Each structure stands twice: as structure tokens, then as C-alpha cells.
Amino acid sequence: MPPPTPTPSPPSGGHQMVKKGDSGTEVVTLQKSLGVLVADGNFGSITDTWVRAFQATCGLTADGIVGDMTWAQVDDLQKRVETGKSRLPKSLADQIYTMAQQSEIADFAWPDRGIAPTGYIPGIALGFAYAVRLVDDDAVIVMSQGQGNPDKDALAWYAAEFADLGMSNKTAGPDTLRHLFVMMMGLGPRESSGRYCEGRDLTASNVQSDTCEAGLFQTSWNIRSGSSAIGPLLPDFWNNPNGFLPQFKEGITATANNLNSYGSGDGMRYQFLSRFAPLFHVMVSGVGMRVLRQHWGPINRREVTLKKEADDLLKSVQDLVEATA
């Protein structure tokens, strides 16, 4: 009978080295800090895939072994989450979440996709509320601008569809911003079935960090070429990676295929943040839709469903945010 395997001593940082096949409280701590994962205490293939993605994001060797250097990055991520400013006051976020859950659009069966995951509609509503509060933000200014060239601007490309619903986007301001989020709410089911944690389209060959798709809207980091307002979102959300992950996670379990990431540098960091802080992905994609609408096949093919019920919900959110400003 072989001697028992000795338990490794914790490193100087106070954590024990863990890797695929391990289980226990240290794995739970790791999974909770990396957010996207179910904290079941078992270091399986899903945890291994996400750990490797995180290591690559931090410029570490992506070997799946969580030792001193990886734990230091995990702890730093957790610290940034804990010390980062909330994107919305908790009481306001809770009201919006409940409002969205009880809305008519929450149970809508999207064509060819069905009802979105529990947290999808509330997550989009929270993202809209966040944008409404940032009147002078560069990204929100782009998202709120009056409709432009239909070759570039998704709202202009869908002008007839919006007009059928009585929504005009000719004037810059909160109404145009709201209509953009109505369109985003319809785009998510087409691109990801409303799953915030989606990785690249496995039927495509895009595996470069800048062209690899990720997140709710299957947006890639090369979208930043469309507007100078996109680039600054990356350091903003890396420094404060709070982005409504608990809400968007409702009703979803990630898979290893979801969590695979590709490349290195800012493109890799983009893929990580798109799934760790879904609000980041919403903001990047919202700007992109106003300046490079041909980035999205469902938009180009006019497959996005616009719903008046989505606008009704978001108008209630807008009124609530403006009343509490």
C-alpha cells in the first residue's frame, strides 16, 4: 500500500496550492473570487479552463496550477471587487431588478430562442440605469447621439422598425439611449441566447485576441477601432470589475467551452472582463452598435426583434433613476 500523499504546506500568502482534481475550502475560495464559477469546491474542467484564462489575462503561465503568483492575482481581483465603487446604489439596483422580473418582457419568448435566462432582462435594465446616470460620460454620449449613417449606426439601420413602434432616434438624448437598449435587449438572444458567459463562436476560426468574440453580444475587442470612447472602458472596469455579475448569472451555469479564451494582452483581458463584469461588455457593445453596426450579423440581417414591452420597462427604469438622482 503506497504511503499517503502529503498535504502541501500553504505558501507565504496564506493559500494552499490547488489544481485540477483537488477539492475543499481553498477551491471554494478560488471559485468565489473568480466569480463566473459555481463554488462547489471541486476543481474540475470548468474551473481549470477559467483559471487558465485568468492566468493568461494576468500575463502568467496558463498552466491551471494555482500557486503563489496566481493566488496573488486572485486576491488582488477580489480586493478590487470589494473596494470598487458600486455601479448603482444597492436600493436602486434592487428596485430595478424586481421591476424587470415582474415586467411583461421578462417572459417573452424570443423568436428561435425562447425565454431568456432569469437574469438577462434585469441585467440589461441595470445596465441601462447605469448609463442613464452617466450623462457626461464619453461612452454614453456616443450611445445617446442622434441617429447617423445607416452604414455605421444600428439605430439608423433599423429606423423603419423603430418608426413602426413610434420610436424616433433623430434627437440625441435619453430617449435615443433607451431605444438603443431596447435593441440590445433583442440582440442578446440572437447572439448568445442571453448567456453572459459565452465564449467565441466555435464554428468560426477567430482565435486571435482582438478578433475572438465573447460575451452577451459576441463582440470582439477590435470594435474599439470605431470610437475613442471604447478603449478607456477596459482600464475602468479592470480597476473596478463590478458589473452586475450576480444578476446576469441568475439561471445560468457556465461550461468549459464558454470560458475558453484566446490570445494575450488587452484582447485577452477584454474576453475575461466581458464575462466577469457583464456591464463592461454591455457598454463596449452599446458604443459599437452606434459606430460599427456591421460587426453583428443579426443586425445586418435585420434579425433583431424590437419589442414595445422592452421600451415600457426601460422607460419605467429611466423614470425611477431620474426621480432618485
C-alpha triplet 222, 223, 229: angle, nearest 5°: 120
Helical packing angle, 120-133 and 278-291, nearest 10°: 70
State residue 190's pLDDT score.
Answer: 96
List pLDDT tens digits, range 115-135: 999 999 999 999 999 999 998
State residue 206's pLDDT score.
Answer: 64
List pLDDT tens digits, range 197-253: 998 765 666 667 788 899 999 999 999 999 999 999 999 999 999 999 999 999 998
Residue 36, pLDDT above cutoff 90? no
Cα separation, 127 vs 130, in Å, equals 5
Cα separation, 280 vs 133, in Å, equals 15
Of the candidate ranges 131-145, 198-212, 249-263, 311-325, the one whose mean pLDDT is the lowest: 198-212
Domain extents in the chain? 25-83, 90-323
Predicted TM-score of the model (pTM): 0.93
- The helix or strand, by DSSP H or E, that contains position 26, with its residue range, turns out to be helix 25-33
Mean per-residue pLDDT, 54-72: 96
- Contact status, residue 157 vs residue 305, Cβ threshold 8 Å: no
According to CATH, the superfamily of the domain at 25-83 is PGBD-like superfamily/PGBD (1.10.101.10)
State residue 8's pLDDT score.
Answer: 40
